[in-house]
Amino acid sequence: MYAYTYSKYGGPDVLNCVELPTPTPKANEVLIRVYATTVSAGDWRARSLTMPVGMGLIGRLVFGVRRPRKPILGTDLSGVVEAVGADVTTFQPGDAVIGFPGAGFGAHAEHIVMPADGKIVHKPEALSFDEAAAIPFGATTAHDFLINKGKLRAGERVLINGASGSTGSACVQIAKHFGAEVTGVCSGANADLVLAIGADHVIDYNVEDFTKEGPQYDMVVDTVETAPWARTRHALVPNGRMLMIAGSTSDIIFGGLKARLDGKRLIGGVASESVEVLRKVVQMASDGHFHPVIDRCYDFSQMMAAHAHVDTGHKKGNVVVTVTAEILSQRRVVPTLPTVVASR
């Protein structure tokens, strides 16, 4: 099989397309032929080792001190099961699936093996392989923070900072689905997109600073590290919650204490990558309550170009990479969106 690997940190040019043996599934594993994958913010961070100030050492401990610990990137995928281990009963060859290796990576390849009881679900027929691959990374993060960690309640006013990115666009749709009044923060050029996916209001960050003017919110979600607690606290009602999906080192360490002293809450941490959350967001997509935003689609031979586009910070939603040419005939036309600066 062919896969993209990297042995040092840096830009897209550190990637190499190499031929590797196709893995053989163990007794409890399935072998998946990857049809589509994405280049996510997790791939960007792991490949470039771009970390918040003060977190560089932790980044190397996580991803590899001297060289990358996981040489094949790729956090999400859709594909078809090709073989199953002797103990597997939940999947069989020919099943179309959605996989979420997440921090385990490995999806930037023609094949991947995953535990059958891991983060794999059957792909609904209503979803194309492109759409299916674009679900896991952003939607599971959004659902876990909003519902599990943030305890979102219907009728609350929620602001999403970075509303046009993969996680931000999922936050907008999931918060709206659960009954929130949603305000999205993005560039003015992205306003139509954010409104189209369900936001009630949009703030152009080039024109208005939501932390200095406007209403206060029950919940503020920062997906792009541009709304530190020192500023965001002014935008929260008493007992309001800030969900810090991305943030500064200072807020990661001291933010919870700062918020409590202010009579509010700061909720951070790492998003759950549980299969239960994956099932929920896939079901939402199947039922038409969530539509992953796809910015661009690249072929497998264009993997470095896909990474380069993510590196610019100008992507909207998700960047999808077609690994298997068979899905080209199934690909749906993705509406052309304005080219704008957007969140990762």
Characterize the bridge pairing of strands 217-222 and 157-161.
parallel
Express each pLDDT in 25-77 by its tens digit.
999 999 999 999 999 999 999 999 876 666 666 667 778 888 999 999 999 99
Query: Which of the pair, 159 or 270, is modelled with greater confidence?
Result: 159
Domain assignment present for 8? yes
Domain co-membership, 305 together with 322: yes
Domain assignment present for 125? yes
Domain assignment present for 129? yes
Nearest to 9 by CA among 73, 52, 53, 74: 73
Express each pLDDT in 186-234 by its tens digit.
999 999 999 999 999 999 999 999 988 778 999 999 999 888 998 899 9
Domain co-membership, 178 together with 84: no
pTM (predicted TM-score):
0.89
pLDDT at 290 over 90: yes
Domain co-membership, 179 together with 297: no
Domain co-membership, 93 together with 144: no
Domain assignment present for 335? no
Residue 342's pLDDT band, with cuts at 50, 70 and 90, is very low
Q: Which residue range forms the structural domain that includes residue 101?
A: 2-135+292-330
CATH number at residue 186: 3.40.50.720
SS3 call for 336: coil
Nearest to 202 by CA among 31, 37, 342: 342
Domain co-membership, 42 together with 125: yes
Domain co-membership, 158 together with 220: yes
Counting the structural domains of the chain, the total is 2
Domain co-membership, 126 together with 19: yes
Domain co-membership, 323 together with 222: no
Domain assignment present for 274? no
Domain assignment present for 344? no
Structure tokens at 309: 């586009």
pLDDT at 340 over 60: no
Residue located via tokens 């600073």: 209
CATH number at residue 312: 3.90.180.10
Nearest to 117 by CA among 91, 98, 96, 139: 91
pLDDT at 329 over 70: no
Domain assignment present for 281? no
- What is the spatial distance between Cα 17 and Cα 321, in angstroms, rounded to a whole number? 14
